Structure 1
Amino acid sequence: MGALVPEVDQRVITGLLTTRLARTKGRRLLLVHGKYAAGGPEEFSVPVGDGTRRKVRVTHTTSVLGLTDAWQAHLAAEGADLLVVTTDVPGERISLDLLGEMVRSQIIAVDEADIVKQLFGAADLDPRMRRDPWLWLPAALIDAEADASQGGWPQYGAVLTLDAAMRALVGVRLGLEGLFEGGASVDVDALLAWSRTPGGPERLAVLSEAERRGITEWLAQSAGEAASVLLRLALQGRGPEATALGVLASVMTGDTASADAAVALGSVFGLGSRPSELRAYARAVSGTLTRWIGEASGRGPQSEEARQWVVDVLHQADRLADNAHLTAALAGNPFLPSGFQARLHGLADALSEGPQAAQAAWEHVVEHQLAAVLYPKRVELARMAVRLLRWLEAPEPAVSSVGQAVSAHVADWGWVDRALAQLWVGDGETEPVLAQAYRAVHDAARRRRALLDKAFAAQLGPWVQRATAAQPGGALPIEDVLRTIALPLAKVRPPLVLVLNGMSSAVAAQLGEELTGAGRWSELSSDGQRAAAVATIPSVTVISRATLLCGRPVSGGQSVEKDGFTAFWKQHRHAAVLFHKSEIPGPDGQLLDPRLVAAIASDDVVGVVLNTIGESLDHGQRSALADWSVSRVKYLAELLNSARGQGRPVVLVSDHGHVLDRTKVEVRPPAAEGVESARWRTGAEAGEGEIALSGPRVLENDGRVTVPWSEEIRYTPRKAGYHGGAALAEMTVPVLVLAPSAELAPAEWSELPRESIQPSWWEAETPSAPVPTPVRPAKRAAQAKPKPRPQEGELFADDAVKVPAAAPPAEPAMLTLGQQILDTTIYKHQRKFVRKSPEHKVVASVIDALDHAGGTLSLAAVAAAAIGSGGRTNTRPEGLVTVLTRLLNIEGYEVISLIDSRTRVRLNRETLREQFELPEESV
């Protein structure tokens, strides 16, 4: 019989008393069928319903005489008021005098279910908890109650369900209490994190076999087959590598699965894992890693922690794959660093196959989960190589004049220089095979660029001899930048003129992309393109910057610039002030000098000279000149913010550009005649790669100098970069006009859509993509009647070539996507509930523009499409998109939305077709 006597401990007795004390009716003796656990406390207290506690003494006996002695001893003792005796004595042998003292006058059998109900405040239990295979659960819940959070088990209501009980138990046993708040279910994501916590898997290992097996089976039912694999790994002591092993398990999925890979994987996981379990485990780990990579892409300590965890896990996975000879089988894995490297190797091969193959290979690189988080610079470097390859496949560019060349350089060839600079510098991690592929593209592009510089020099010689301020020969001289660009702006709101000393077209391309892409600035233009001026000769600061700021050809330092800047604006009835390097920083606690801040807040024209780029040419590292951002130009962000706060437009202009040093040796002997600086001399004899220039545009050596057009020539000791020569990158002066709002545009000016600024080869072409047109601000544009749209047989609206009347009628054109939407009953019904809806032609035009562009356009391009439709919108671009969301986002589905900090518009084509019930064959 002894084997049938249950062992009870303090928790069981406490539970029994808590459920029985209310019915004691003053009795002080409780007999329990069982055996008190050895080493348990003999005295303790238990809670009573009114908030007080009763003192309890516990003992064990196996005879009737022992029961009598224990009771008598209890009566004689002081302290405890309740005696609990555990015994195996049958109830019929208990004397009548003891029966009268006993609670309920009988020996109490231990009913663990009753105790559990009491602990959880439930009236009943899930019936499954009283049957196999869950008979172990009540005892486990009683045992784990002491480890529950303060206050004991949570109260779940009238019936304690099996899942609620298991959530409570698993939370305490495995240390996952917070996981189940609000009734949440367990998932592999949480278990993977748990498997890596110190001591986490050991908490499962120390449980009894029945409880361990029950928890494992419940987790597998709740979280899927993957949980079984994970828990087996945890019990084997392999919890810290469980996530990494899940990456290896991906060899069981996809097209690369093979029998050899399965055998190798089996040796890693050992016996007991079914293929379906391993596939489920691989999918679960993939989902977890994707979420963690998403967290790692942010900023702050939490993102940095996630990033480090991802790095550690995936490098661990690569080591495990190498040990198991699975690296080749996992080459296509989207998480492993080795897989990312394999994709880059594929790109290296594709670069020799042409732009389409290279673009596809680059997109494959970008699809790797680590691309954006861990390798953004390597991805961007690969992208630059693909971009240059597209440029090399484009028709051979030509130089027809100085003005055409500098405009083309700002619009196109400067972007080439930007990509070339990044490829030349590299990232320090590129493997030889990839570096060789990049260098082949780089060198081919450099050869083409050198031909353009040579052709430009041929045009520059004659132009310099006859060009004057009055007759600039189709170009914009640098002295006319203030008059032609800054002065019209001042009629609306005095501008802030920021002179970035040495800013090349390549740097301007990157800065402009960042500033307009953030959605904070609109870029304006008087002729639908970014402006480009021609520097003085030689293209050095002392001449070119003074000429720019004074509005006339002149040479001089800061005092000349200040006086000339003030005089120019005074001549045009504007007060003006110019700030140089030492006048920009403020005192402690202030970013900008208070006088500069006050000037920007006034109605004066304000000029500021920033020397960061120029100083980097002399003192910076080569790598520092390949990648420019707003934050790298000292004080630029602060000045732009200040201008925005005061509603000022900004003219971002250079005094000259620069070339980078790409030479390994001196390419011009020290004996070169008349050396004045790194890139110009007075010697008359021009050698290979040089040109002798003379004329009114030459402001040194009585109007005659010799300068190199080749970027490879320098006359002085090596630096990071140079200026003063006649290369396009030095002679081109980019001018960016930025405004907080397009409303600041002068009459007949326009906002430049981002798509019109980037050269066509910069991004992969989208079939049938429309060319965005400049967006003119409505408040100053003449209210002309819209011109009729081209009809069938017309080429252009203005000079139409019409089909003769006798010609047979053309086949009816297929309806565009926008027209199809407008024809649906759903759209017509939806339009009734949207006030001030745009005209039909506007809605159709915007839908079609987005569709043709692949689903995404800038706000400016969307506005251009709306204006180009000839219809009325009665709202600004962002307001137009808001109205379109009311029209097209049926039942809350996101058909059209603003993205990228509300600067771009995205159309979900498939959702649009589905919501408006277009037939599948419609395109």
Structure 2
Amino acid sequence: MPELDQRVITGLLTTRLARTRGRRLILVHGKYVMGGPEEFTVPAGDGSRRRVRIAHATSVLGLTTAWQDHLATEAADLLVVTTDVPGERISLDLLGEMVRSQIIAVDEVDIVKQLFGASDLDPRMRRDPWQWLPAALIAAEPDAAQGGWPQRGAVLTLDAAMRALVGVRLGLEGVYEGGVSVDVDALLAWSRTQGGPERLAGLSEAERQGITEWLAQSAGEAAPVLLRLALQGRGAEATALGVLASVMTDDAASADAAVALGSVFGSGSRPSELRAYARAVEGSLTRWIGEASGRGPQSEDARQRVVDVIQQADRLADHAHLTASLAGNPFLPSGFQARLHQLADALPEGPRAAQAAWEHVAEHQLAALLYPKRVELARMAVRLSRWLDTPDPVVSSVGQAVRAHVADWGWVDRALAQLWVGDGEAEPALAQAYRTVHDAARRRRALLDEAFAARLQPWAQHATAGQPEETFPIEDVLRKVALKLAEKRPPLVLVLDGMSSAVAAQLGEELTGAGRWRELSDDGRRAAAVAMIPSVTVISRATLLCGRPVSGGQGVEKEGFVAFWKQHRHEAVLFHKSEIPGPAGQLLDSRVVAAIASDAVVGVVLNTIDESLDHGQQSSLADWSVVRVKYLSELLNSARGQGRPVVLVSDHGHVLDRTGPEVGPLAAEGVESARWRTGTVPGEGEVTLAGPRVLENNGQVTVPWTEEIRYTPRKAGYHGGAALAEMTVPVVVLAPSATLAPDGWSELPRESVQPVWWDADAGTSVPARAPAKAVKKTGQGKLKPRPQEGEHVADDAVEVPVTPAPAAPTLGQQIVGTKIYEHQGKFVRKVPDRKVVAAVIDALDASGGTLSLAAVAAAAIASGGRTNTRPEGFVTVLTRLLNIEGYEVISLIDARTRVRLNRETLREQFELPKENE
């Protein structure tokens, strides 16, 4: 005899009340559940509700008594009696009162159709193994406050019914209405909810089994594993256990690891299920990591979810003795540590092995989310490894050394500064590997400082502005750079006091990397000037801002800056630290904002870096971003809004204190500052400098060239000495548009700014102008090759053109010589010259397939292309020429700031023979 509850009775009556014909007694075959409500209301179908009383009788006498009692009360309209009395034993009196004059048998299928508003059900729901489903749907119906079951249309399908049932039974929000799919992501989230797994455990065995089998079909083979874990009370660690299951996806997994994993999951899980479960969990974690990479509360929630899971997984792996077997796992923190350990082993093997190991570190799924600084530090070590593998650099002159420092050696300093701070979480082996690379690079850099000091000593005796040697004294920055920019638009001159070449490298990379600023140059490289001697603020900054060698404070700087620009018919204004901040609610003083909006040349001195040398921690000087320089972002935004070019320049660089607290100041005579003194007898690591560029002590000072000497108590960093990092003044010229470039200037590609060893995939830099093909001929008539960067050539050398030997056609030349290219050109307006297209293809090919937009434009210009060509427009023309039938030969990547060439597709589309043929 079926057991009936209020939901079944309600569903049954809803289908029958329209045919009662005034009768008030309904007999139903079954037994009403104990404890169920004896009276309730049901919908009548016309918008009204009828009151129902429930009773149960096991005999004809009981039926008669229940009916007589009902007639004696006015409480209810209908009487429903559940009974097992056969119909033939019912008296005629009762039959006359009964709806349809018969005992009604419950048809659960009819009730389900009514509950879902369907005219029919999926036929499978009437057969094994789904016969349990109608009763489960009736029992699980949401109450009226939730709106009951959603209406499914003419036919209620098995999947729709199961989705509705699973949504309600497991508490999966939104699933039973049909708005959310039941996938592993949803089940993993459910497994961590309070009480979620208990809902499943409370179901009948048939219903549990049916739900499990359906989820295995709809959500995948991973679902049964997850549900078993939930039933075992392990739902809270189900996701973490999925990370451990990745042992089964490794072909090299040992038998011991498989046994250990089996003990974790129990004997009920098949290897194929565990592999599917591992893949499903990894997919969910990958999506969570993507969500966590954004901003806002949801990203923070996703980040915390990831952290909780992977930390739990690491603990479970350790408890199950699976940590070693999971060393290659791309999600576990222990896996990240294992990759760093492999990097420590690879660094001594050379740059190729180190690069491969670093790429393995960077490929860890949590690298960018949780360990970006550790990954970047590892990258710095690999970069230094590549630099150490390059030919020994040479110092041939002061000008050459300063240019080389801003273009190359300052980037070494940037990596060294970060490596010196180190990784506080690094294991001893990794820390030692970093220290070995750091110390080797420091020794090499020290040789360059020593060689530079030897060149600086004779140079200082006669060096002045306008010397024929390619030196760029600091007093010429305004004349050679800012004054040129003013021909198009008065610039904003930002003096970042103490900015070294290392800091400029990082700031320039950040500012141009997002595509908001274009770096400009007049000779295809970043400018570098030489500071005054000693390289201290009171001398070098005043000289920079006045445009002539001078010593003085802020008053001298203001007067000199205005006077310089007045001499060149421009109004000008200079702001110092106390004049920059605005009142409450304003970031910048209104006078600064008004000046930038005017037609005057504006200068602003920012002291953040210099003050950090005095008061900051050494670690704070190792890594600089734009937001760390106070007011820099606001000033740049203001200049960009007014269409102004910007000159980022320092008055001098700095060195960091790496000696440690146990090393005190050097005892010496005539100490005037941390890095210069008046004594005339230089000791080891020092040099005495004299001449017109020395503006202290009557033109003669003694300064250290090594970073390890200081004369005053310890600070985070110093300036005033003769090291390259102090004497080099980087000059970064930025503009919101390349149209602000003065005549003869052009946009400076990123590839021309950073050294070739900085990135492993960097190819040959693309020059802004075509290099002259020539050799040097000395006065004695001898020929020798054009010198490379760092080599010195006698001043009497003259260039003699040399015709190069015939060479095989380049890839670009082969492409533009094909019939297919000629045909493509018929459908493109204003096709560039063939040699221009060929040169760009070759430049992309030489760089490994990617170049910045600026580098592509530079390659085009160098081969005779138009100088006013918009890089984006030029690349659009290239895509029309080279992208045949939609295949991407040329494409824009990285937020449309870089161009990528697919070499294989290019050769295939233009039907070039295979390269090994």
- Aligning the two structures, in what range does the TM-score lie when normalised by the shorter sequence? over 0.9
Distance 2:167 2:513 in 1: 47
The structural deviation recorded for 1:851 is 4.5
8 Å Cα contact 1:818-1:847 kept in structure 2: no
Which letter does structure 1 place at the counterpart of 2:708? E
Distance change in 2, residues 1:277/1:149 (3 Å): farther
The structural deviation recorded for 1:820 is 8.5
How do 1:378-777 residues align onto structure 2 when only pairs under 5 Å count? 378-471=374-467, 473-664=469-660, 671-765=667-761, 769-774=763-768
The structural deviation recorded for 1:718 is 0.2
The structural deviation recorded for 1:879 is 2.9
Among candidates 13, 18, 32, match of residue 14 of structure 2: 18
Superposed CA deviations along residues 523-581 of structure 1, whole A, max 9, x for unmatched, are: 00111110000000000000000000000110000000000000000000000000000
8 Å Cα contact 1:173-1:203 kept in structure 2: yes
The structural deviation recorded for 1:337 is 0.8
Distance 1:247 1:392 in 2: 39
The structural deviation recorded for 1:850 is 3.8
SS at match of 1:268: helix
Which letter does structure 2 place at the counterpart of 1:285? V
Superposed CA deviations along residues 161-219 of structure 1, whole A, max 9, x for unmatched, are: 11110000001111113246656542212211211111111111111111111111111
Which letter does structure 2 place at the counterpart of 1:498? L
Among candidates 854, 857, 861, match of residue 863 of structure 1: 857
The structural deviation recorded for 1:764 is 0.8
Superposed CA deviations along residues 493-519 of structure 1, whole A, max 9, x for unmatched, are: 000000000000000000000001011
In the alignment, structure 1 residue 801 sits paired with structure 2 residue 803? yes
Among candidates 900, 904, 910, match of residue 894 of structure 2: 900
Distance 1:43 1:714 in 2: 95
Distance 2:583 2:435 in 1: 47
Among candidates 242, 249, 256, match of residue 245 of structure 2: 249
Distance change in 2, residues 1:824/1:265 (3 Å): farther
The structural deviation recorded for 1:74 is 2.2
Between 245-254 and 505-514, the greater mean CA deviation after superposition = 245-254
Which letter does structure 1 place at the counterpart of 2:118? A
Question: Corresponding residue for 1:783?
Answer: none
SS at match of 1:680: coil
The structural deviation recorded for 1:319 is 1.4
Distance change in 2, residues 1:361/1:171 (3 Å): same
The structural deviation recorded for 1:771 is 3.0
8 Å Cα contact 2:168-2:176 kept in structure 1: no
Question: Corresponding residue for 1:98?
Answer: 94
SS at match of 2:233: coil
SS at match of 1:352: helix
In the alignment, structure 1 residue 43 sits paired with structure 2 residue 39? yes
Question: Corresponding residue for 2:315?
Answer: 319
SS at match of 1:656: coil
8 Å Cα contact 1:822-1:840 kept in structure 2: no
Between 896-905 and 343-352, the greater mean CA deviation after superposition = 896-905
Which letter does structure 2 place at the counterpart of 1:461? Q
8 Å Cα contact 2:399-2:469 kept in structure 1: yes
The structural deviation recorded for 1:267 is 1.0
The structural deviation recorded for 1:877 is 1.5
The structural deviation recorded for 1:70 is 2.3
Which letter does structure 2 place at the counterpart of 1:376? P
The structural deviation recorded for 1:329 is 1.0
In the alignment, structure 1 residue 262 sits paired with structure 2 residue 268? no
In the alignment, structure 1 residue 110 sits paired with structure 2 residue 110? no
In the alignment, structure 1 residue 9 sits paired with structure 2 residue 11? no
Which letter does structure 2 place at the counterpart of 1:565? F
Which letter does structure 2 place at the counterpart of 1:126? D
Distance change in 2, residues 1:871/1:464 (3 Å): closer
Among candidates 873, 876, 879, match of residue 870 of structure 2: 876
Superposed CA RMSD in Å reads 2.8
Distance change in 2, residues 1:320/1:650 (3 Å): same
Between 890-899 and 588-597, the greater mean CA deviation after superposition = 890-899
Superposed CA deviations along residues 755-777 of structure 1, whole A, max 9, x for unmatched, are: 110001101145xx35323289x
8 Å Cα contact 1:661-1:721 kept in structure 2: yes
The structural deviation recorded for 1:613 is 0.2
Distance change in 2, residues 1:612/1:787 (3 Å): closer
Distance 1:564 1:428 in 2: 47
Superposed CA deviations along residues 681-731 of structure 1, whole A, max 9, x for unmatched, are: 001110000001111000000001000001100000000000000000000
8 Å Cα contact 1:751-1:775 kept in structure 2: no
Distance change in 2, residues 1:557/1:164 (3 Å): same
Distance change in 2, residues 1:818/1:15 (3 Å): farther
Superposed CA deviations along residues 93-126 of structure 1, whole A, max 9, x for unmatched, are: 2233433332222211101111111111111111
Which letter does structure 2 place at the counterpart of 1:92? E
The structural deviation recorded for 1:872 is 6.7
In the alignment, structure 1 residue 347 sits paired with structure 2 residue 349? no
Any unmatched runs of 5+ in structure 2? 774-784, 787-799
The structural deviation recorded for 1:836 is 5.9
Distance 1:473 1:299 in 2: 52
8 Å Cα contact 2:756-2:764 kept in structure 1: no
Distance change in 2, residues 1:633/1:775 (3 Å): farther
Superposed CA deviations along residues 631-687 of structure 1, whole A, max 9, x for unmatched, are: 000000000000000000000000000000011257676641000000000011100
Superposed CA deviations along residues 68-94 of structure 1, whole A, max 9, x for unmatched, are: 332233233213212211111222222
In the alignment, structure 1 residue 60 sits paired with structure 2 residue 62? no
Distance 2:811 2:555 in 1: 66
Between 216-225 and 69-78, the greater mean CA deviation after superposition = 69-78
Distance 1:670 1:802 in 2: 57
Which letter does structure 1 place at the counterpart of 2:854? A
Distance 2:270 2:816 in 1: 51
The structural deviation recorded for 1:833 is 6.9
SS at match of 1:27: coil
SS at match of 1:466: coil
The structural deviation recorded for 1:22 is 1.9
The structural deviation recorded for 1:152 is 1.1
Distance 1:592 1:514 in 2: 22
Distance 1:550 1:12 in 2: 94
8 Å Cα contact 1:340-1:365 kept in structure 2: yes
Percent of aligned positions that are identical = 82
8 Å Cα contact 2:188-2:238 kept in structure 1: yes
8 Å Cα contact 1:659-1:722 kept in structure 2: yes
Distance change in 2, residues 1:667/1:181 (3 Å): same
Distance 1:775 1:397 in 2: 24
The structural deviation recorded for 1:330 is 1.0
Any unmatched runs of 5+ in structure 1? 777-785, 789-794, 805-809
In the alignment, structure 1 residue 363 sits paired with structure 2 residue 353? no
How do 1:154-303 residues align onto structure 2 when only pairs under 5 Å count? 154-179=150-175, 185-303=181-299
Distance 2:148 2:254 in 1: 52
The structural deviation recorded for 1:262 is 0.8
- Normalising by structure 2, we get a TM-score of 0.93
Superposed CA deviations along residues 354-401 of structure 1, whole A, max 9, x for unmatched, are: 111111111111111111111111111111111111111100001111
Distance change in 2, residues 1:31/1:284 (3 Å): same
Among candidates 326, 331, 337, match of residue 330 of structure 1: 326
Distance 2:904 2:92 in 1: 85
